[in-house]
């Protein structure tokens, strides 16, 4: 069973994951409208991943006898001038999410909640990947600069990204 403190904190994380999904959907729509469908695709996949993260947390709350309380999702930005701007915002956001996951882990550790700590291990590894992916794209877009052909080629590369069901959901079904 979850303590009320941990349950509330995970519910806050659920909201943060849905906010992240909403942010990435907004980014996808920005670049779709801008004719950059490959970049939009990358953010659409990110949108699905964040929804899945929220689902993992909700499943965990339910498994541990808690209650999921959904809260309103705050508004997100709707425009980014360049892909580089969007990926820089993505990295900053993912670093914030990493800090939130780390805080959850510290709370679980302080309460000797080893099950929650174990569940969070997957998210800790996931956040390393999220930050690395954003940084790699920042590096690529920085290298390309304003070169239209380079942006076109990277847009084509990002169009190939596909959504994969995260392992905690794949094993739960």
Task: Kindly state whether residue 172 falls inside one of the protein's structural domains.
Answer: no
Kindly state the percentage of the chain with pLDDT values over 70. 99
pLDDT of amino acid 102: 98
User: What tens digit of pLDDT does each residue of 53-100 get?
Assistant: 999 999 999 999 999 999 999 999 999 999 999 999 999 999 999 999
pLDDT tier at 172 (50, 70, 90 boundaries)? Answer: low
**Domain span at residue 49?**
4-167
3-state secondary structure (DSSP) of residue 146? coil
| CATH number, position 136 | 1.20.1260.10
Which residue in this structure is represented by tokens 């550790």?
A: 109
Helix (H) or strand (E) holding 76: none
Long-range contacts at 29-34 (CB < 8 A, ≥ 24 apart): 29/78, 30/78, 30/79, 30/80, 30/86, 31/80, 31/83, 31/86
Task: Kindly state whether residue 65 falls inside one of the protein's structural domains.
Answer: yes
> Dihedrals φ, ψ of 69, to 5°?
-120, 110
- Cα separation, 46 vs 63, in Å, equals 26
Task: Kindly state whether residue 86 falls inside one of the protein's structural domains.
Answer: yes
The set of residues, in sequence order, having a beta carbon less than 8 Å from that of 15 and lying 6+ positions away, is 70, 71, 73
Helix (H) or strand (E) holding 85: helix 83-110
- Cα separation, 89 vs 92, in Å, equals 5
E strand spans, 37-158: none
User: What tens digit of pLDDT does each residue of 90-138 get?
Assistant: 999 999 999 999 999 999 999 999 999 999 999 999 999 999 999 999 9
Q: Number of structural domains, the chain?
A: 1
- Cα separation, 150 vs 140, in Å, equals 9
Task: Kindly state whether residue 53 falls inside one of the protein's structural domains.
Answer: yes
């Amino acid at each position: 069973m979850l303590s009320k403190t941990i349950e509330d904190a995970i519910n806050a994380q659920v909201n943060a994951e849905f906010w992240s999904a909403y942010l990435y959907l907004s980014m996808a729509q920005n670049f779709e409208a801008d004719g950059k469908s490959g970049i939009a695709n990358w953010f659409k996949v990110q949108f699905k991943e964040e929804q899945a993260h929220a689902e993992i947390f909700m499943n965990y709350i339910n498994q541990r006898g808690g209650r999921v309380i959904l809260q309103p999702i705050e508004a997100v930005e709707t425009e980014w001038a360049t892909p580089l701007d969007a990926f820089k915002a993505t990295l900053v956001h993912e670093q914030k999410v990493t800090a939130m996951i780390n805080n959850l882990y510290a709370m679980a550790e302080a309460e000797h909640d080893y099950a929650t700590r174990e569940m969070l291990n997957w998210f800790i590894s996931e956040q390393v990947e999220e930050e690395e992916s954003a940084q790699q794209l920042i590096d690529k877009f920085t290298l390309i600069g304003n070169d239209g052909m380079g942006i076109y080629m990277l847009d084509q590369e990002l169009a190939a990204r596909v959504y994969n069901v995260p392992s905690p959901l794949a094993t739960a079904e």
